[in-house]
Amino acid sequence: MPSSYQAPNRKSEEKAKTVSQSASSNMSAASASVHMVLDQKGKNVFAIRPQDTLGKAVEVLRDKHIGALLVTDANGSLQGILSERDIVRKLADTPGQTLPQKVEDVMTSEVQVCAPDDAMVDVLRRMTEGRFRHMPVADDSGLLGMVTIGDLVNFRLTQLEHEALQMKQLIVG
């Protein structure tokens, strides 16, 4: 008796792994470092002084289209970070009286900093666990830039898109 055709199912064949599922690609994601992200996005550092007003900070945030400012002293040493979230909380606490207040009274003084050689995955984990979106990058010479959680995610998405394109070219070519 002739056997009928049976379409393959999940159990009949072992699935082929894609590049994004391979050990080598997962290792490349783990070895991507912060300096790779800074090289791609740029190393602009936007800073404000502790004695400046929140009004000035709000203008800089608006004009630069950014979500946080580093707070530095006259020598460029990191004193803190001021985010939109910090300002919004102060607005809720002191409505109508917030913009004349000093940055030093609202900023976050205990800032987590990463090094350019830190693994991107580790920095993402620290930001997620700490529930913050901006992290200054520094080494022995001083501030080198700032990365956001969006920068890190975008970098990884670009890597994945590149891997998918390479796989497509391997399959077609």
Give the mean pLDDT of 151-169: 85
DSSP per-residue codes, 62-85: HHHT-SEEEEE-TT--EEEEEEHH
136 touches 55 (CB < 8 A): no
Angle between helical axes of 54-64 and 84-93 (0-180°, round to 10)? 140
pLDDT in tens, 8-61: 565 555 554 444 444 444 445 557 899 999 998 888 899 999 999 999 999 999
Confidence of residue 159 (pLDDT cuts 50, 70, 90): confident
pLDDT in tens, 119-134: 999 999 999 999 999 9
User: Tokens 């300002």 — which residue?
Assistant: 87
- Specify which residues 53 forms β-bridges with: 102
Whether the pLDDT of residue 114 is over 80: the answer is yes
106 touches 85 (CB < 8 A): no
In degrees, rounded to 5, the angle at the alpha carbon of residue 37 between the alpha carbons of residues 36 and 40 is 90
106 touches 87 (CB < 8 A): yes
Whether the pLDDT of residue 75 is over 80: the answer is yes
Pick the more confident residue, 66 or 162. 66
Q: What is the CA radius of gyration of the chain?
A: 23
In degrees, rounded to 5, the angle at the alpha carbon of residue 19 between the alpha carbons of residues 13 and 20 is 105
Position 156 scores a pLDDT of 87
Q: Which of 42, 74, 69 is nearest to 58 (CA)?
A: 69
Pick the more confident residue, 79 or 29. 79
Q: Which amino acid is at 10?
A: R
